[in-house]
């Protein structure tokens, strides 16, 4: 019984560690979706070779996070397998005891999976982890910050465009990201070509990696936005939010704009 409890505790901490690593990777500018995939791959030792993996390996802070995940993942998997073997080797109570252990193990794993997949738990746990990382660590990319004088809530981020994303298939004019306070610094295509400061009729395609500059909330909203009318509504709301933010940041300039109009 103790071995099963130990196994469930190890699984719980494994989920927690990958969640912390995911948020830590997003602090370096990696998209949340890519960060989650890379964190799980590193922790389990899957070792997928993708363009996203190159983004991690080529970045000093991301590389440190992934190396730590690999170390913890190897230790955790070995310990979990040992606990699993011990839980069934040391049988007490014959067939009834074995059945009880299987039921407890399955129930515990299902409960942990439900917690890990719960959006409510994800939001609240992410907020706690995010605040802790900001308070006790310095994960912001200082070389970018010194070059662009990033401050407050502004940051750089890479966004991988998926086929279902709101941006996929839109031109820069249609996306109107500047209205949301987001600036596209460059687009890296699947074939390795790079377009700096894209404008006008430049089309954003699925598979592109966008280099973006803007507020953290705006970048995260853009990363989570999907095609359809809901995506258009979120774009409209983001535009309104940006106008309000500009009024708060520079009320004098806003007043001058209104007077000139």
Which backbone phi and psi does 132 adopt, to 5 degrees? -65, -40
The structure tokens 């746990």 sit at 125
Identify the domain boundary among 100, 119, 136. Answer: 136
42: helix, coil or strand?
helix
136: which 2 tokens? 């006790």
Residues forming beta bridges with residue 211, ordered by sequence position:
158, 186
Other C-beta atoms within 10 Å of 109: how many? 13
pLDDT at 141: 47
Q: 147 and 126, same structural domain?
A: no
Do 241 and 160 fall within a single domain?
A: yes
What does each of the 261 residues of the chain score in pLDDT, given as a tens digit? 666 677 777 778 788 888 888 888 877 777 777 788 888 888 877 766 566 677 677 777 778 888 888 888 777 666 666 666 666 565 555 556 667 767 777 887 788 778 777 777 777 777 787 777 667 666 554 445 444 555 567 888 889 999 999 999 999 999 999 999 999 999 999 888 999 999 889 999 999 999 999 988 899 899 999 999 999 999 999 999 999 988 887 766 555 544 444
Specify whether 182 is located in the same domain as 211.
yes
Q: What is the pLDDT of residue 73?
A: 77
- pLDDT at residue 103, rounded to an integer: 77
Residue length, the chain?
A: 261
The residue from 72, 107, 136 where one domain ends is 136
Q: Are residues 158 and 218 in the same domain?
A: yes
Number of domains comprising the chain = 2
- Bridge partners, 165 (sequence order): 226
Token code pair at residue 19: 């969640």
Q: Do residue 89 and residue 26 come from a single domain?
A: yes
**What's the pLDDT score for residue 260?**
45
Task: Please state, in angstroms and rounded to a whole number, the distance separating the CA atoms of residues 68 and 224.
Answer: 27
Confidence (pLDDT) at 146: 46
Q: What is the CATH number of the domain that holds 154?
A: 3.30.70.1450
Question: How many Cβ atoms from other residues are within 10 Å of residue 190's Cβ?
Answer: 11
Q: In terms of DSSP H, where are the helices of 205-250? A: 216-224, 229-249
| Residues 130 and 150 both lie in one domain | no
The domain boundary residue, chosen from 136, 168, 200: 136
pLDDT value for 177: 95
- Whether residues 187 and 105 share a domain: the answer is no
| Cα distance from N-terminal residue to C-terminal residue, the chain | 75
Kindly state whether residues 221 and 106 are assigned to the same domain: no
Looking at the structure, do residues 89 and 186 belong to the same domain, yes or no? no
Strand partners, 186: 196, 211
CB atoms < 10 A from the CB of 161, how many? 21
CB 11 within 8 A of CB 112: yes
127 lies in the same domain as 183 = no
Three-state DSSP string of 86-154: HHHHCCCCHHHHHHHHHHHHHHHHHHHHHHHHCHHHHHHHHHHHHHHHHHHCCCCCHHHHHHHCCCCCE
Q: Residues of 20-44 as b/e, b for ≥16 C-beta within 10 angstroms?
A: bbbbbbbbbbbbbbbbbbbbbbbbb
68 & 150 share domain: no
One domain, residues 110 and 175: no
User: What pLDDT, on a 0 to 100 scale, did the predictor assign at position 110?
Assistant: 83
Rounded to an integer, what distance in angstroms lies between the CA atom of residue 121 and that of residue 210?
29
Q: What is the pLDDT of residue 164?
A: 95
Residue span of the structural domain in which 25 resides: 2-136
């Amino acid at each position: 019984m103790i071995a099963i409890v130990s196994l469930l505790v190890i699984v719980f901490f494994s989920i927690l560690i990958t969640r912390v690593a995911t948020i830590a990777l997003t602090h370096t500018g990696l998209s949340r979706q890519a960060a989650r995939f890379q964190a799980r791959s590193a922790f389990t030792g899957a070792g997928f070779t993708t363009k996203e993996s190159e983004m991690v390996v080529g970045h000093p802070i991301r590389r440190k996070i992934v190396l730590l995940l690999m170390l913890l993942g190897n230790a955790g998997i070995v310990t979990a397998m040992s606990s699993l073997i011990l839980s069934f080797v040391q049988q007490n109570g014959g067939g009834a005891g074995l059945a009880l252990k299987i039921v407890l193990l399955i129930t515990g794993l299902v409960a942990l999976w439900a917690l890990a997949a719960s959006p409510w738990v994800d939001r609240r746990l992410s907020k706690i982890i995010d605040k802790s990382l900001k308070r006790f660590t310095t994960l912001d990319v200082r070389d970018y910050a010194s070059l662009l004088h990033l401050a407050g809530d502004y940051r750089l981020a890479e966004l991988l465009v998926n086929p279902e994303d709101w941006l996929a298939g839109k031109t820069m004019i249609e996306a109107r990201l500047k209205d949301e306070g987001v600036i596209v610094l460059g687009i890296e295509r699947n074939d390795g070509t790079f377009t700096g400061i894209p404008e006008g009729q430049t089309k954003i395609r699925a598979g592109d990696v966008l280099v973006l500059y803007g507020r953290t909330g705006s970048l995260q909203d853009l990363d989570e936005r999907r095609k359809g009318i809901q995506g258009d509504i979120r774009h409209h709301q983001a535009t309104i939010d940006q106008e309000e933010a500009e009024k708060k940041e520079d009320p004098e300039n806003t007043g001058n704009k209104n007077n000139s109009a």
